[in-house]
A and B are shown apart, each in its own frame.
Chain A
């Protein structure tokens, strides 16, 4: 009974929903503030993302005529639940060494569920522009998933004996130094950051939600609290993916003394790289994105894994 209660607290409060939502929303504020400073503006105050979410909670939900209600309303919830579980698994592996064999595979597939939820929700909304957005999102998933998985398996293959457990990767790094010290893992890290850009649908890969030609694409028909759920899922993804990369490549999260500060610096650094890529690149077309990920990025990822197997 006590362990069930603990699991509920883990899921709903500390590493799970509430904590991830608060830190994720603060990160979206960092995103908006840094974007504003890059564009020589002042930018919003720190509470801006919270005001946005609170406002959306008080608005009406408009369901378009001809939409499939169940799919339209439940798909974003599935995304929110999936990203909460990923965040919980990563933090528990970092804090207490809790995990199971193959939890890395679970993390990889749970991380695609928010995108798949958006595809289902946009297809159920019976809006032609939203379904164009859904089809673009589908192509984008096909494009980035392959290099992303190869990059993660580069980290796995550096660990001896090879293990698909997050905890084993963390223990290896605690004993032998961080994986970013190896050339193969530096390549894998670059590939992973590029894939993160596409997973978050940030520019230059914001093709599914192009504001100018698709009017927010996959999010177009969502309004009120359900749009709040969509925005919250994006914010939580922005928090979860850097934590995943820190866990895999950069020695994990530390919570004592200077380690805590070092962890925050690592996190902010990865987020800032993503924001700077976002602000300095125009949107590409979907065919250019697929060619980019299946061409140079996959080749880079394969070079990385060959180097890793060669022992570099």
Chain B
């Protein structure tokens, strides 16, 4: 395993992209960063710019309005980049699947590496999903 690969596994910088979520998943993401779960122990931190990101964390149904932004963010992220779909909406559309504004789940638009179900997913579930993602990289 090369040094850069090792570094990639030990230091995932997450760009959180809200593609039309109800904010409940977003609050659970912040819970992961707080003292009780503290994912910085594993080198995971949130970054402000998509140019710094290793992981795109997409939450929410992908609304029709947000599809171009989602594709642009995915194209701008420097490779290698992993995509995580967070929450029932991002996986399937959840309770909004019949909405007029629903433009398909995340994996209809960009390839997804890990799925974390739940409405919202518990912080333990998010950490479990990230661990599985790291094992897969």
Contacts and interface: CB of A to CB of B under 8 A. Distances in A.
Interface of A: 32, 36, 39-45, 47-48, 50-62, 211-212, 214-216, 219-224, 227
B3 to A, nearest CB: 5
The 10 A-B residue pairs whose C-beta atoms are closest, nearest first, are: A58-B4, A54-B7, A55-B7, A215-B48, A51-B10, A60-B78, A223-B51, A223-B78, A41-B38, A51-B11
**Which interface class (under 10, 10 to 19, 20 to 34, 35 or more) fits B?**
20 to 34
Given A55-B54, A62-B76, A216-B48, A42 B4 contact: no
B43 interface: yes
Interface of B: 2-8, 10-11, 34-35, 38, 40-43, 47-49, 51-52, 54, 76, 78-80
Contacts of B51: 62, 220-223, 227
A41 B35 contact: yes
A51 B43 contact: yes
A223 B43 contact: no
B35 A40 contact: yes
Contact of A58 (B5, B10, B49, B52): B5
A58 B137 CA distance: 14
Contacts of A56: 7
Given A58-B5, A62-B51, A219-B49, A45 B41 contact: yes
Contacts of B2: 58
A54 B52 contact: no
A44 B43 CA distance: 6
A71 to B, nearest CB: 17
Contacts of B5: 58
A279 to B, nearest CB: 14
A220 B49 contact: yes
B7 A52 contact: yes
Contacts of B10: 47-48, 51, 55
Contacts of B11: 48, 51-52, 55
Nearest to A32: B40
A211 B48 contact: yes
Contacts of A212: 48
Contact of B52 (A36, A45, A214, A216): A216
Contacts of A43: 38, 40-41
7 contacts: A39-B35, A40-B35, A43-B40, A60-B78, A60-B79, A212-B48, A221-B51
